[in-house]
Amino acid sequence: MKLTLPIVLVLGLLSGLTPLAIDAYLPSIPTISKSLNTDIGLIQMTLSIYLLVFAFLQILFGPISDAIGRRKVIVGGLIVFAIGSFICALTQSYEMLLVGRAIQAFGGAAVAVCVPALVKDSMSINQFAKAMSMIMLVMALAPLAAPIIGGAILIILNWHYIFVLLGILAILAIVLFLRTIPETLPIEKRAPFSFGNAIRNYMILLKNRSVMGYIAASAFYFAGMMSFITGCSFVYIEIYGVDPANFGFLVGLNVISMMLASTINGRYVEKLGTEVLSKYAIYIPLTASILMIILSFFNHPPLWLIMASSILFMGPMGILGSGFMAGALKHAGSHNGSVTALAGTSRFAFGALGGAVISLLHNGTFVPMLGTIAACGIIAFICFKVTVRYAEPSTKY
């Protein structure tokens, strides 16, 4: 498979479905809370439910895609995602919203686990990192536009139509995917699926210190990002009085910083190597984490400082996201689907945990959000540095 512009755009759309499902309804969380007469902490938990289901089902879909190919798993996932979206659109209760979000996540997991594996099937590590940077540039439009679109829908219509839009996009993705993307896993390279084989493959990966080091660094870093996504609507809108219609533009600054980092990664990764870029980029979220700890000691710091720290934290994802994944795949052998599944499960499980911590520690201030993000950033830095230090000599950074 050659990465032509249409293929990059379609893969970006597939990768962007979960960011859309997460970010599009962020501006409406306070409104949904009032509409369903439910505490805002419980509505925030719908995000954690999505992340938990999304995370753990990737463990299953990774080996399945290694056995039957990528296309069947992706199309099935898109159908289920659309069904879950329309259930959310029709819901009138908190319980049904939870069910709809879980079904959405079921389909989203099938799609997400296959995209990196599909790209890696025919590429080297540095080519993979460059390709994922290109896809992330397109994918980044989702979290950039989603809160803005969600805020606009909230003003013109109501929050139910946010989920209608997600369902329509999933249907559109099915059509474009089937017309554009070939199967990348030949029959002769497929591994027959069985739970026994899947468990054995995962046990091998779990014992691989290099693989797990990169996965752990990625998981904690992603948990910090999801902690911001979970808490930012309350902090920005409720504490600092940001208009929901403007909320998306402020959050979009984080995405723009990610797009800038992805552009830098795509331009220099084949020249310098993903290892070198990641080695230096990891210090940026560490700096942001330290700044967040300092801000937590103030009663009401300026909003621009909180925004600046979040931009510094999230921006390097454009480099570190593909760098962590490339490092894990480099040491993981031929089971690309299983590796991406384990990495995806870890990221979103920890992301759900970060969001749950913020919901449980909710005290009407910004401290739970900043403290959780900072803790995740520092642990991610430590995991990465330990992994680099104890990697085999030929793969040290």
Q: Beta-carbon neighbour count of residue 283 at 10 Å?
A: 11
Does 1-193 carry CATH code 2.30.30.90? no
Q: What average pLDDT does the chain have?
A: 84
Least confident of 245-249, 294-298, 361-365: 245-249
Q: Which residue has the higher pLDDT, 340 or 98?
A: 98
Domain boundaries, the chain: 1-193, 196-391
Q: Do domains 1-193 and 196-391 have the same CATH topology?
A: yes
Angle at 233 between CA 86 and CA 244, to 5 degrees: 80
Answer yes or no: is pLDDT of 36 > 80.
yes
Scored b (16 or more CB within 10 A) or e, 354-372 reads bbbbbbeebeeebbbbbbb
Please say if the pLDDT value at position 394 is more than 60: no
pLDDT at res. 393: 44
Q: Above 80 in pLDDT, residue 171? A: yes
| pLDDT higher than 90, residue 77 | yes
CATH number of 196-391: 1.20.1250.20
Q: What pLDDT, in 10s, does the model give residues 266-278?
A: 788 778 888 888 8
Confidence of residue 27 (pLDDT cuts 50, 70, 90): confident
